[in-house]
Amino acid sequence: MPEFKKSTTREYFESIVIAVILALFVRTWVVQAFKIPTGSMEPNLLIGDHLLVNKFVFGPTATSPERALLPVADVKRDDVIVFKYPEEPERDFIKRVIGLPGDTVELREKRVYINGRRLEEPFAHYLEPPGAADSTMSAFDVRVRYGPVTVPPDSYFVMGDNRDNSEDSRYWGFLPRSYVKGKAMMVYWSYESGREDYQDTGLVGALKGVASVAVHFFTRTRWDRIFHQIH
């Protein structure tokens, strides 16, 4: 019986199919790329930062052996996470976890208190310093005073590092655990573009972005942020 031999075309086709399946698996379950479109996490994450998000680390485990063998973890305070925006689940947001299930969260003069104790936040940035005498924000502004509120089970209270310019749990409430997509790991590329580059969406915005990168790749790439770890 003659030996069966695949054609070169078939081998290429099978290789491409396998590569596509693996790429979809990795994107769906392991790692996903995410681009920072707003300044809500400045100065720690900048507009134009491109991140790798670990989608596996918070994966559900049903049994104790799974939890022992798989490298999964619980969501912790200070984790920077990517999640589905509760009011528009088709959009992805990125914020920092501040309150865990059962925590009582309160803001007093912009400072965060967890269960009555002030939280140390070296990453927090303010356009107007807490307690500024000439502040333009009223005492009833949620950026100044909020709560106290208790985080319900399977939920989190999240905030942007840029506290005076972040749409977060102070405005839309608690984040359900099921909406968490993953933990931000590192910046794999950062491109310095103005906020106007993110105003157009869809095909027009994509074409503008490609044109900008093609012309300014070397001069606008923030080389010092490549492989920057996110904390």
Structural domain that includes position 92? 30-229
Averaged pLDDT of the chain: 83
Mean predicted confidence (pLDDT) in 77-95: 96
Asked if the structure places residue 24 within a domain, the reply is: no
- Cα 158–37–171 angle (5° rounding)? 35
**98: amino acid identity, one letter:** I
Give the rounded percent of residues in the chain with a pLDDT score beyond 70: 73
CA distance 122 to 5: 63
Domain with residue 225: its CATH number is 2.10.109.10
pLDDT classification of 216: cutoffs 50, 70, 90 = confident
CA distance 25 to 58: 16
| 208: pLDDT strictly greater than 70 | no
Residues 154-187: tens digit of each pLDDT: 999 999 999 999 999 999 999 999 999 999 999 9
Angle at 200 between CA 197 and CA 204, to 5 degrees: 105
Residue 41 has pLDDT above 90, yes or no: yes
In a domain, 19, yes or no: no
Tokens 């027009």, located at residue: 204
Structural domain contains residue 6: no
pLDDT at 31 (0 to 100): 81
Q: Is it the case that residue 197 has pLDDT exceeding 90?
A: no
Question: What confidence score (pLDDT) does residue 25 get?
Answer: 45
| Domain-located, residue 14 | no
Is the pLDDT reported for residue 66 higher than 80? no
> Does any domain span residue 101?
yes
**8 Å CB contact between 127 and 165:** yes
Residue 204 φ then ψ, to 5°: -60, -45
Q: State whether residue 3 is helix, strand or coil.
A: coil
Active-site residue, from 95, 110, 155, 166 = 95
Residue 179 belongs to a domain: yes
pLDDT above 60: residue 147: yes
> Which segments within the chain are labelled E, that is strand?
31-35, 49-54, 80-85, 88-99, 104-108, 111-114, 117-118, 146-150, 155-159, 175-176, 180-190, 228-229
**Count of structural domains, the chain:** 1
Mean pLDDT within 32-47: 94
CB atoms within 10 A of CB 69: 10
Catalytic residue at 110?
no
Retrieve residue 59's tokens. 């994966």
- Name the 3-class secondary structure at 62: coil
Tokens (6 digits) for 176: 């359900």
pLDDT number for residue 88: 95
What tokens does 85 get?
A: 């925006």
Structure-block tokens of residue 135: 């502040």
pTM across the whole model: 0.79
Q: Which residues pair with 149 in a beta bridge?
A: 105
pLDDT at 215 over 60: yes
Q: What is the mean pLDDT of residues 182-197?
A: 83
Catalytic site residue from 40, 135, 155, 166:
40
Within-domain flag for 134: yes
40 is catalytic: yes
Q: Is residue 23 part of a domain?
A: no
Residue bearing the bigger pLDDT, 74 or 125: 125
